[in-house]
Amino acid sequence: MPEQFSGSQPIYLQLVQRVCRQIIRKEFPPGGKLPSVRELAVQFGVNPNTVQRVNMELERMGIVESRRGQGMFVTEDESLLTRLRDELKEGELKRFAEEMRDLGYSNEQIIENVQKFLKLNEGLSEERK
Amino acid sequence: MPEQFSGSQPIYLQLVQRVCRQIIRKEFPPGGKLPSVRELAVQFGVNPNTVQRVNMELERMGIVESRRGQGMFVTEDESLLTRLRDELKEGELKRFAEEMRDLGYSNEQIIENVQKFLKLNEGLSEERK
Amino acid sequence: MPEQFSGSQPIYLQLVQRVCRQIIRKEFPPGGKLPSVRELAVQFGVNPNTVQRVNMELERMGIVESRRGQGMFVTEDESLLTRLRDELKEGELKRFAEEMRDLGYSNEQIIENVQKFLKLNEGLSEERK
Amino acid sequence: MPEQFSGSQPIYLQLVQRVCRQIIRKEFPPGGKLPSVRELAVQFGVNPNTVQRVNMELERMGIVESRRGQGMFVTEDESLLTRLRDELKEGELKRFAEEMRDLGYSNEQIIENVQKFLKLNEGLSEERK
DNA sequence: GTGGTCTAGACCACC
DNA sequence: GTGGTCTAGACCACA
């Protein structure tokens, strides 16, 4: 059984991030319904309570809303999704740049490294489940 | 007193990372002596136990060695330091690329974003607290 | 379509409260006929089942009675309506006073705050949707 | 056994409100330590998990922070507390005024009712556990 | 000792 | 069927 969770971070946060990314990429389309709590629980191999917690977080972020007795629905406010994506992107860029500078790389070296890395790993993008 | 630790990650790991980066950047030069446990403890504002744990970690990584009665010393093996730096760099690159693709960016867009971001934030590298 | 329900409380209870207030204010006059279940359902944008449940509640409270084949009728017993109004009023007063004292306000401060608040918001009473 | 919870609202929210009020009234002073999760659990007669959830909410509101291995601490930022108190007060006033107007009372009648009610219940403020 | 996470299983209200 | 709350009990990392 391939353990899919990274250990250093709580499972529920990893799932929040995962589902959030899926929503941003519109794999769960705006206005659409998410799988039920129990369904996601078996899909992810975790306890329904954990999924519940994930949904709570997503709802608090505003990208999902729960309708009683019906299910969880992705927000229809697409501007919120793009805004969220931009925020996450900025965060990643900031974190990455800081780390690289911490390791002693100049801006030019950073860009050079990114280009080299992406060139080497071309075609590896799609083998994600 | 401004709390300097990020909360989500254990303090000792944050310190390991920080000191490790400083060693890599040769702010603690190879072969040099690290400040004493007590000294670091007051400097970081944490319990000496925590500093001990940090040193243990650094020693386990091989970039520091304890000489009894004298203190902790940075390794003189510079090749190890450069190897470590490369590993960390690769890790960051991998993580970053994965995140950005998860957000739906193509390789070209990633590079573009990095360039734009670094250009905007030029000169902001040194305001490290 | 602006969702008109507050989420934390069951829809049917929100509707009970709403219709109940309307009856008390005699917008539905004593002895008069309420709109049909189906009519209210489309008006409120909810399932007819939910409206049924609302009517059941109102009937249980005694302020509405169903005459088979004809519909739901507001009670003609006006004393009951005034009694109900007084009960609701007392409940609100009690709840409000308790909350304000919980926040640390003295009786004098409570009155003062109410006066100030009502003065500021004069004329805002009628923008009910 | 006197059941202390109101049933209509989830227990954890009732507790959030309760503790929040205590903090606002400085029964738990700024910078001070809250009783431990397990302690509060027996005090309130609920499961430790439920208390945990309460703490999560309070932390999200910013009026409490958790320090690993030490406990939960009330924020030292008193301005935040007074701001929160004002928000809660405004919310209560708004809700109350709306309800009373819904019941058909004019501003003058509302004030009159509040005054009469508070006069009658003088001295009843302190028999709260 | 502390807070935090996770599981298992139960029960509820809503639709 | 759905989401939401609560309990019981376990385990972990942190200080």
pTM for this structure?
0.81
Distance of CA A125 to the CA centre of its chain: 16
CB contact residues (below 8 A), chain C span 5-34, against chain D: 21, 24-25
Residue A46 has pLDDT above 80, yes or no: yes
Sort A43 into a burial class: Cβ within 10 Å, 0-12 / 13-18 / 19+: exposed
Q: pLDDT tens-digit profile of C13-63?
A: 888 888 888 888 888 888 888 888 888 888 888 888 888 888 888 888 888
Q: pLDDT tens-digit profile of C76-106?
A: 888 888 898 898 899 999 999 999 999 999 9
D50 CB and strand F closer than 7 A: yes
Pick among A19, A82, A101 to test the B interface (most B CBs inside 10 A): A101
**Chain B closest CA to A52's CA: distance in Å?**
21
For residue D50, give the nucleotide whose C1' atom is nearest its CA.
F6
DSSP per-residue letters across chain A: ------SSS-HHHHHHHHHHHHHHTTSS-TTPBPPPHHHHHHHHTS-HHHHHHHHHHHHHHTSEEEETTTEEEE-S-HHHHHHHHHHHHHHHHHHHHHHHHHTT--HHHHHHHHHHHHHHTTT-TT---
Q: pLDDT tens-digit profile of D73-82?
A: 999 999 999 9
**In strand E, which positions have an atom below 7 A from any protein CB?**
1-10, 13-15
> Domain spans of chain C?
11-76, 89-120
Class of domain C11-76: mainly alpha
> How high is the pLDDT of residue C2?
45
Q: pLDDT tens-digit profile of B22-66?
A: 888 888 888 888 888 888 888 888 888 888 888 888 888 888 988
Strand, helix or coil at B14? helix
Report the share of chain A in percent with pLDDT over 90: 76
- DSSP, res C35: P
Q: Please, what's the b/e burial string for C50-86 (b: 16 or more CB within 10 A of its CB; e: otherwise)?
A: bbebbbebbeeeebbeeeeeeebbbbeeeeebeebbe
**Chain C closest CA to D69's CA: distance in Å?**
31
